[in-house]
Every structure is written in structure tokens, then in C-alpha cells.
């Protein structure tokens, strides 16, 4: 097993607790499914959110999946002119037997196209 990093991102339609919860859960579930990740494979998860998302921490939404025992951290995304709005990004650190090139990164909704250079 090697330590790997898996990237993902999604956008919200509105800055609400409901939208944050549904979109973060959708993103994490997709990351877990596409990469055959088990709970115990995950080492830690870092979330960033754009400045226009203030209703809820993404990590709080992630706890709805039952991953409260995994270290979760939130940070502010750098506010760059023209950047994708209402965007949550994720970097998940996990142990995996997959090679780095076999990791399937996940970009949903308005975040599609942020990292076209990474395989899905």
C-alpha cells in the first residue's frame, strides 16, 4: 500500500446548509465509489471553499457520511478574479494499492473542467 492523494471538486447552486450537505456527500460518495475506497483507507481530507460559501463548513457536511473519526480540515480557497464560484475542493489522502495514475479524480457540476489534465 502507498499513500495517495485524490482530488475532487463540486459547486453549489446556493449558499445553504442543504446544498452544502447534498453536494459534499455526493462528491465524497462518488470519490469513494470510483476508486473503490473503504473507510479505513482514508488518512485525512482537506476541504477548501470559495469566499461566497459561508452557510456551513464542508467538513461538517462530510460527517453525514459517518467519517467523523477521520481527520477533516477546512480552509479558504484563494479568491482569484474569474475563478469558479460557490466551489468546494477536496484533497483526500488515502492508502491504496493503485498507482497514482490509476486514481480517478472527481469533478462534478460546475467544477467539471477545472482539471482537465487529470484522469477521471
Predicted local confidence at residue 113, as pLDDT? 76
What are the grid coordinates assigned to 24, written together? 459534499
The sign of the CA dihedral 33, 106, 84, 43 is positive
Predicted local confidence at residue 96, as pLDDT? 94
What are the pLDDT digits (tens) for 58-81? 999 999 998 989 999 999 999 999
Taking 60 as the threshold, does the pLDDT of residue 8 lie above it?
Answer: yes
What are the pLDDT digits (tens) for 11-65? 999 999 999 999 999 999 999 999 999 999 999 999 999 999 999 999 999 999 9
Taking 80 as the threshold, does the pLDDT of residue 10 lie above it?
Answer: yes
Q: In sequence order, which ranges of the chain are alpha helices (DSSP H)?
A: 17-34, 58-62
Higher-confidence residue of 79 and 118: namely: 79
Q: Confidence class of residue 119 from pLDDT cuts 50, 70 and 90?
A: low
pTM: 0.93
For residue 94, the cross-strand partners are 4, 42
Catalytically active residues are 7, 63, 74, 77, 89, 107, 115
Is there a contact between 109 and 23 (Cβ–Cβ < 8 Å)? yes
Domains, in order of start, for the chain: 2-110 (3.30.1330.40)
37 burial via Cβ count (<10 Å: 0-12, 13-18, 19+): buried
Residues 19 and 113: their CA atoms lie apart, in Å, by: 21
Query: How far is C-alpha 74 from the geometric centre of its chain's CA atoms?
Result: 11
Amino acid at each position: 500500500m502507498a499513500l495517495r492523494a485524490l482530488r475532487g471538486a463540486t459547486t453549489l447552486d446556493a449558499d445553504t446548509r442543504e446544498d452544502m450537505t447534498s453536494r459534499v456527500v455526493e462528491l465524497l460518495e462518488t470519490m469513494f465509489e470510483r476508486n473503490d475506497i473503504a473507510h479505513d483507507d482514508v488518512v485525512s481530507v482537506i476541504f477548501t471553499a470559495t469566499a461566497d460559501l459561508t452557510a456551513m463548513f464542508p467538513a461538517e457536511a462530510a460527517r453525514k457520511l459517518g467519517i467523523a473519526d477521520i481527520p477533516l480540515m477546512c480552509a479558504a480557497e484563494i479568491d482569484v478574479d474569474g475563478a469558479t464560484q460557490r466551489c468546494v475542493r477536496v484533497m483526500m489522502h488515502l492508502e491504496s494499492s493503485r498507482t497514482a495514475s490509476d486514481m480517478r479524480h472527481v469533478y462534478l457540476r460546475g467544477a467539471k473542467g477545472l482539471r482537465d489534465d487529470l484522469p477521471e
